[in-house]
Chain A
């Protein structure tokens, strides 16, 4: 108490308060800049939609604005904490330099092992293993479909090889400042670079890693020969490079290093360099990872398109198949069986065109490939049985659903009848194909609209699937592939599921929030802030989410979903679009999703999104901790709040928090002008919330409390003290010690919903362990039911909600007020789980005292 007496005595000295004002101002600046960065992400994401025209100047401007705002966020955090954050500054430098490299079309290989097993590969490693291998990793490790065993020689290894051979230097010198030389010059440069690489020695470390990878593969499987496949940066991603890079099949361990060199040399063929140049990329700047995958002893192989590119409106899958390996089909040099199959289960075969297959390609015993005659009896037989076709198409459709666009897939069936997926990439369709068929409006009228124009579209697109309502993070691990995720809040934690779901709909959230940015990154159709999705949509219901027109239909509107598969159009291949995607790829992904994780550190920030998320989290923590909020000097801004209940609350006004009367140290509720405090007190002062009657003490509860604290006759009788509210018109930071509970509320309430948030923390409170657990459960359930994102450890429960409209904010603050009063006398009532149930339900039904809920006398 001495501190507070001193505080109240030292009127007129305002240094401490001024310090707080400065910190609050820093915080508000940080929030504003954080929001601007998210708006820039949203704005740039919208530009990728195809409706806008922009140029390279826009990209430079975007990169500048992003960097400026993010630097500002870091500076505001530093001002708030009073500490320079070297790690965070370094992260900004890193991301900024990566974005600069994107704009200059420089390719960067992230530091990585030289060789990575395919088992450890997924989309997150796209820059290390190339998009082609990243996709295979996803198919194998996330979809669980069969892909040959193997390993990838990384882009980092490739960088070592190119640098070691002097190729990088020679290439930069050859092009100098002219990345668009005439054709003869380009040919000459290509020949010189390829020649230099073919003559070069592979650095010992890389060669050793490749040998080790191969012998490990041989040990773990019985694989003796591999297919050596290119997986260059950008290949099968923004640019297809289809057939332009080399693949070497049937490679033995002894031949592997040479085959590897051959494959990476194809970075510098004239054709590849011309292709890059024609698409606005630097002709010589490329990096390649190389996949080494066990050869499949194929009895049949071929290519599958999940749509027929020449008749996309027919909704069929087209399969080409030959006997033996599929090389001849891929290269288009051999006749093949052609099957047309329905896109929906049970995948009926709609037509068969079986040809006579005299020859087939197989792996030669000594390495390499050879052509041999097809056994007489099999020549006129289809290369695939009906069962194999169904299995193949079923797997292909799963891949299409997962990748969210029509696919071009290479496959093989081995001599034991096992199906393997060898490659999957977006199916390239003619640029003249229209995105939406003109007669769709007539079609969709036949379907029941479940939601129309509710909330905001955060990411455009169309998808179909089954509603999966997620109430807590635990449910995220079990989402099926066709899940349309429906949640109350737009918690960034939902991001972990984004790569696996079809669409996302939330009750609360904004199009500029973290989740919206992640949805755009993954191109997952998203509608947020519907206020009603969790009420209107039932678990398991099949729906079609049209986030182009902001509608949700009952059932699968096949025509809409189908039109979406054709969405990728020619403009997306333009250099400016690729660069914008590249910039957003460096800036927008959110990797730091869990503030409680040990990896939630400044040095782990890999993108601008990570940096602002980290900074925002730390800023809220800083303000909420109260550690720096305790003023060393009070001023004329300090008053005690007289409420008529024993709540000894001292307030510090940062501006507009309350009306000051000239005389006296106290103000009444009528003098309060702090909107968040008014809303909270409105809840706290609701009749029945602040019950002062005798509590129903049972011996266990009492003894348990008595053994954990200073002597007391009745916890409820303990005078509440040391309560502090730092307020402004729109801000509240409240520290409340009530009995043995410690509550912190940090809230910002304005008319600008993006700046609104509530942070509520509940800690402490002596009672036996079982009651503590029940109390934590009660708090969590009530908070979740009111749209808070909740986390907690043991006694500690933290609830957050942000970016909600003013009326919702006020309502939630009232609920926090009620909850603070409710929990004050809660522990002794939580005798068993039944009492817990009754207390949760009672509170949610509007009862204000645990006594009213449990009915105890």
Chain B
């Protein structure tokens, strides 16, 4: 069975998770969403790796940067997109330092996010759908 590109979405606002789940799934991605960032980090430690992680920056519990650091330390090939509704320059710099793929400001267009995830997936070298590749 073909395996799609796996995308993790982490945002404590359930509407963001729901809408990204629906849209990105429609675009052919395998999507898992988490409104609890601690659970997202647990998931990163278990189960198959994600090609792309989309995470909100400011959340209750571990922040988007915590998620990002966890990804950098444990899954270097994974690309991280950070959603931010705040002009948090320091946080952005820190994220850049550790290698964020890109930032996106809330509110954002679903199609903009989908385009960004596709780019990130290409960079992750795992986007079989666009490279015309086969299984895992």
Q: Which residues of B contact A53 (CB under 8 A)?
A: 15-16, 19-20, 106-110, 113
B107 and A47 contacting across the interface, CB-CB below 8 Å: yes
From B19, B106, B109, A58 is in contact (CB under 8 Å) with B106
Nearest residue (CB) in A for B113 is: A53
A47 surroundings in chain B (CB, below 8 A): 107
Query: B51-100: which residues lie under 8 A (CB-CB) from chain A?
Result: 85
Determine whether B45 belongs to the interface, using a CB cutoff of 8 Å to chain A.
no
Q: Across the interface, name the chain B residue whose C-beta is closest to A43.
A: B107
Asked if A385 lies at the interface with its beta carbon under 8 angstroms from chain B, I say no
User: Do A57 and B20 form a contact, CB below 8 Å, given A52-B109, A52-B110, A576-B15?
Assistant: no
Which A residue sits closest to B86, measured CB to CB? A57
The yes or no answer to A51 lying at the interface (CB within 8 A) is yes
Instruction: Encode contact with A along B5-37: 1 for CB under 8 Å, 0 otherwise.
Output: 000000101011011100000000000000000
A574-B18, A576-B15 given; A51·B109 CB < 8 A: yes
| Interface residues, chain A, with chain B CB atoms under 8 Å away | 47, 51-58, 61, 571, 574-576
Q: Are B111 and A55 in contact (CB under 8 A)?
A: no
Known: A571-B19, A574-B18. A55 touches B109 (CB 8 A): no
Q: Is the CB of A55 within 8 A of B85?
A: yes
A56 to B15, CA, bound (A): 10
Q: Known: A574-B15, A574-B18. Is A54-B109 also a contact (CB below 8 A)? A: no
Shortest distance between the CB of A14 and any CB in chain B (Å): 42
List residues of chain A with CB within 8 A of the CB of B11.
55
Contact B108 A58 (CB under 8 A): no
| Residue pair B20, A58 in contact (C-beta under 8 Å) | no
| Cα distance, A58 to B13, chains bound together (Å) | 12
Q: What is the distance, in angstroms, from A370's C-beta to the closest C-beta of chain B?
A: 47
Q: How distant is the Cα of A575 from the Cα of B19 in the complex, in angstroms?
A: 13
CB within 8 Å for A51 and B110 given contacts A57-B85, A58-B85: yes
Distance A56 CA – B106 CA, assembled complex (angstroms):
11
Query: Are B15 and A55 in touch, CB under 8 angstroms?
Result: yes
Q: Which residues of B contact A57 (CB under 8 A)?
A: 85, 106
Give Cα A52–Cα B107 distance, bound, in whole angstroms: 6
Top 10 nearest A-B pairs (CB, nearest first) are A54-B107, A55-B13, A52-B107, A57-B85, A53-B19, A574-B15, A576-B15, A58-B107, A51-B109, A53-B16
CB distance from B12 to the nearest CB of A (A): 9
Residues of the A chain whose Cβ atoms lie less than 8 Å from the Cβ of B16: 53, 55
Contacts of A61 in B (CB 8 A): 85
Pairs across A and B, CB under 8 Å, 24 listed: A51-B109, A51-B110, A52-B107, A52-B110, A53-B20, A53-B106, A53-B108, A53-B110, A53-B113, A54-B107, A55-B11, A55-B15, A55-B16, A55-B106, A56-B13, A57-B106, A58-B85, A58-B106, A58-B107, A61-B85, A571-B19, A574-B15, A575-B15, A576-B15
Total of A-B residue pairs, C-beta within 8 Å: 41
CA distance A571 to B13 in the complex (A): 14
Give bound CA distance, A54 to B15, whole Å. 8
A575 to B14, CA, bound (A): 10
Q: A93 CB to closest chain B CB, in angstroms?
A: 27
Question: Distance (Å) between the CB of B54 and the closest chain A CB?
Answer: 11
Complex interface: chain A residues within 8 A of B113 (CB):
53
Please report the C-alpha to C-alpha distance between residue A52 and residue B85 in the assembled complex, in whole angstroms. 13
Complex Cα distance, B135 from A120, in Å, reads 67
Residues of B within 8 A of A52 (CB): 107-110
Residue of B nearest to A54 (CB): B107
A55 CB contacts on chain B under 8 angstroms: 11, 13, 15-16, 85, 106-107
A31 to B19, CA, bound (A): 37
- Chain B residue nearest in CB terms to A577: B15
How far does the alpha carbon of A523 sit from the alpha carbon of B94 in the complex, in Å?
44
Q: Mark B107-129, 1 if CB is under 8 A from A, else 0.
A: 11111010000000000000000
C-alpha spacing A61/B106, complex, angstroms:
11
A583 CB to closest chain B CB (Å) equals: 14
- Whether B111 and A51, one on each chain, are in contact in the complex, defined by CB atoms closer than 8 angstroms, is yes
B7 CB to closest chain A CB, in angstroms?
14
State how many angstroms separate the Cβ of B91 from the closest Cβ of chain A: 15
Q: Within the complex, what minimum Cβ distance (angstroms) separates A575 from chain B?
A: 7
Q: With both chains docked as a complex, state the minimum distance between the C-beta of A66 and any C-beta of chain B, in angstroms.
A: 15
- Least CB distance, A100 to chain B, in whole angstroms: 20
The smallest C-beta distance from B9 to any residue of chain A, in angstroms, reads 10
Contact partners of A56 in chain B: CB under 8 A? 13
Contacts of B109 in A (CB 8 A): 51-53
For the complex with contacts A55-B11, A58-B107, A61-B85, 6 further pairs of A-B residues with Cβ separation under 8 Å are: A51-B110, A52-B109, A53-B19, A55-B106, A58-B85, A58-B106
> Inside 8 A of B108's CB, which chain A residues have their CB?
52-53
Residues of B within 8 A of A574 (CB): 15, 18
A57-B13 Cα distance, complex, nearest whole Å: 10
**How far, in angstroms, from A563 to B136 measured CA to CA in the complex?**
39
